[in-house]
Chains A and B, each alone.
Chain A
Amino acid sequence: MNAMPDPVKAQAAKAPPLLEVKNLSVRFSSPAGEVRAVEDVSFNIGRGESVGIVGESGSGKTVTCMSMMWLLPSPPARYPTGTIRFKGKELDRHREREMQKVRGSGIGMVFQNSRLSFNPGYRIGSQVNETLRVHLGKEWKKELPRVIEMLRYCNISEPERVLRSYPHEVSGGVAQRVSIALALLIKPELLIADEPTTALDLLSQLEVLRLLERVRKETSCSLVLVSHDLAVVRRVADRVIIMYAGRVVEEGPTADIFADPKHPYTQGLLASTAQKEEGERLYELPGHPPDLAALPQGCSFRPRCVHAFAKCLTMPELLPAGPERVARCHLLDAGREAAHHG
């Protein structure tokens, strides 16, 4: 049922994908009731592939990413269902020791605000060294020349000075590129970047974006790029996953989705960011994302959807929507003629 597209399909047919997320559900308790942050999410990440995950805040994209290496402390997070397979081997979230080996060295992660993801009490260099020591053991000192090299690769002009600095002494853009460098140092096979450009000014955004493009082209590292910004994802991702209210609503090759979005939510997202003539009002998606503790009946997007009809009171499945594409919408079903999308 999961028509998972893969650019290196012939190879993927034999080898398992780098990362498989299957039926992942994540819930939190809140005073307002149970928050369904992620519901039954499945997708694969191929080797060397670059995948964008797009959605508004609260769509579950960050929680999904963190769950890919079982990063969220449980409790408070609860996982009623879900398996993660990395290189064909299931990651057991209860085996903290094994997870520690995967984290950083198998799967690296870069966060939204990198200045906050460095400990304010230690110099950046000592935190880099610590990470090397943990993953490389006694041999870590041999790798020190590579640190400078990697920082230069990530466009840090004065690597020695940055290493001697405390996190609050460098700019957000520098901190972000240092954290990408630090993640790449351990040579992960998958790099997850969670809103890596959101907290940055435009110039730093561009620098980080160029760096991510470079990583995609020049290394074999797979990339998961989480963003609410379609333009960012469009530049870097081969394939896009659109999330809404904790579920995957559309998935497919980037170019195809941008050319012809199938799900009304994706259509709204694209329309709201499209370039317009001067003076023309930008399209705005009506309404707000639903409360994850009190989801509407049926399709979560129904209350905001301009095409909603009776059938939308039941939750649609992910349906085939073209080559290597799926979308979670009843419009794609038998009654295709009833669709007014576009």
Chain B
Amino acid sequence: MISYTLKRIAMAVPTLVGVSLVTFLLLRLVPGGPVQAVLGVASTNPAAVAAVTKEMGLDRPLYEQYFIWLGKALSGDFGMSTQFRVPVAALILPKLQNTLILTTGSLVYAVVLGILIGVVTAIYHRSLLDRALMLVTLVGASAPVFWVGLLLIYLFAIKLNWLPAMGMSSIAGNSGPFGVLRYLILPAFANSIIAMAVIARIVRSSMLEVLTQPYVLAARARGLSRYRQVVVHAFRNVLPDAINITGLQVGFLFGGALFVEVVFAWPGVGYLMYSTIQSRDYVTLQAAILLVSAVFVLVNLIADVARMALDPREARA
């Protein structure tokens, strides 16, 4: 188990190095090059260009530039945002927190509803309920998230006036951490739908397979209740699959946040990235991509290790 964890961490390192390389090169590939990117598109002041060239070490070989940039990034220095004129780290971290709140909210929806739908449809396999739920998840997963988002806003915020249409209250604000929940309900749900559908389908097929296993029949033969057969015995062996697919979905929930944050004006990294792309604030965008990628890799790592820990057969393999 420990050796697997170490091996898995070792495997994550090349991925992270690759991501950092690509992100590093992003700034070099921008039209006009890194100087233009750092100074903003309009600047042509030769003195400023020279200063930035020297400050970023652009006169040195590319590999040296990479290590200088990486060293700074690892110590939390991502440079200055060209749009907001503040250090990128100070800009991104609060936004990252907001994105994590949205991602966590979406994850809760996706896991709870996804597993519930998956288990129920497997138990009532081929029934009307099974078919109906599978159809709904298929349609939900196929609909673009910004369209679903607008629909939700129209129904719950405008027509019924139950929930706020957009934005987010500050966690430190008057309404406190729980005040945020009201703002979270709609965007988190909109963001969760695809992951929910994917989890539901994986859990359903995994559950259908597990329910035919001899040990479920044996549990029934020992006089165990239907609940124990399904929840204690069958679901225990669906868990590794469920955790696996959930781990992968967290990454996509992050990605989905980009769109959802724009639709719901949620002040997270996605919304920030959207505005940095519009204003060509490449330095901030670079840092945002690096952080999001790192979180993606980390989450998959945690999911893999958790899956191993939960499956004794694999833990000893």
Contact = CB atoms under 8 A, between A and B. Distances in A.
B228 A119 contact: no
Contacts of B223: 100-105, 131, 134-135, 186
Contact of B312 (A102, A108, A116, A166): A166
A183 B221 CA distance: 10
A200 B217 CA distance: 20
Contact of B228 (A71, A102, A120, A134): A134
A182 interface: yes
B313 interface: yes
Contacts of A105: 223
Given A121-B236, A134-B222, 10 more contacts: A71-B220, A111-B214, A118-B218, A120-B215, A121-B237, A130-B228, A131-B223, A131-B224, A134-B228, A135-B223
A183 to B, nearest CB: 8
29 contacts: A66-B217, A71-B217, A71-B220, A96-B226, A100-B223, A104-B222, A104-B223, A108-B221, A108-B222, A109-B221, A111-B218, A113-B214, A116-B213, A116-B215, A117-B214, A119-B219, A119-B237, A120-B313, A121-B310, A121-B311, A130-B228, A131-B222, A131-B223, A131-B224, A135-B223, A166-B312, A166-B313, A183-B222, A186-B222
B282 to A, nearest CB: 49
B278 to A, nearest CB: 50
A69 interface: yes
A120 to B, nearest CB: 6
| Most chain B CB atoms below 10 A, which of A109, A118, A119 | A119
Complex A-B, nearest 7 residue pairs according to Cβ-Cβ distance, in ascending order: A104-B223, A117-B218, A103-B223, A116-B214, A121-B236, A109-B221, A104-B222
Interface in A170-190: 179, 182-183, 186
Interface of B: 213-215, 217-226, 228, 232-233, 236-237, 239, 310-313
A121 B139 CA distance: 35
A122 B236 contact: yes
Interface of A: 66, 69, 71, 96, 100-105, 108-109, 111, 113, 116-122, 130-131, 134-135, 166, 168, 179, 182-183, 186
A134 B224 contact: yes
A96 B17 CA distance: 58
Contacts of A183: 222
A117 B233 CA distance: 11
A100 B224 contact: yes
A111 B219 CA distance: 11
A102 B299 CA distance: 47
A72 B232 CA distance: 20
Nearest to B225: A100
A66 B220 CA distance: 11
Contacts of A108: 221-222
A263 B110 CA distance: 62
Contact of B221 (A69, A118, A119): A69
Nearest to B232: A130
Interface centre among B215, B222, B237, B239 (most CB of A within 10 A): B222
Nearest to B126: A75
A116 to B, nearest CB: 4
Contacts of B218: 109, 111, 117-118, 179
A122 B225 CA distance: 17
A131 B217 CA distance: 14
B272 to A, nearest CB: 43
Given A116-B214, A118-B215, A119-B236, A130 B312 contact: no
A147 to B, nearest CB: 14
A110 to B, nearest CB: 9
Contacts of B217: 66, 71, 111, 117
Given A120-B237, A122-B236, A103 B220 contact: yes
Contacts of A66: 217
Given A71-B217, A111-B214, A119 B224 contact: no
A120 B217 CA distance: 14
Contacts of B239: 121
Contacts of B236: 119, 121-122
A166 B317 CA distance: 13
A119 B217 CA distance: 10
Nearest to A113: B214
Contacts of A131: 222-224
With most chain B CB atoms within 10 A of its CB, the pick from A105, A121, A122 is: A121
B9 to A, nearest CB: 25
Nearest to A107: B221
A202 to B, nearest CB: 23
A103 B224 CA distance: 8
A122 B237 CA distance: 10
A113 B232 CA distance: 21
Contacts of B213: 116
Contacts of B222: 103-104, 108, 131, 134, 182-183, 186
Contacts of A111: 214, 217-218, 221
A117 B215 contact: yes
Contact of B224 (A120, A130, A179): A130
A120 B238 CA distance: 12
Contacts of B221: 69, 71, 103-104, 108-109, 111
A155 to B, nearest CB: 21
B16 to A, nearest CB: 33
B194 to A, nearest CB: 29
Nearest to A118: B215
Contacts of A166: 312-313
Nearest to B238: A121
Contacts of B219: 119
A235 B27 CA distance: 82
Nearest to B310: A121
A1 to B, nearest CB: 31
Contacts of B233: 119
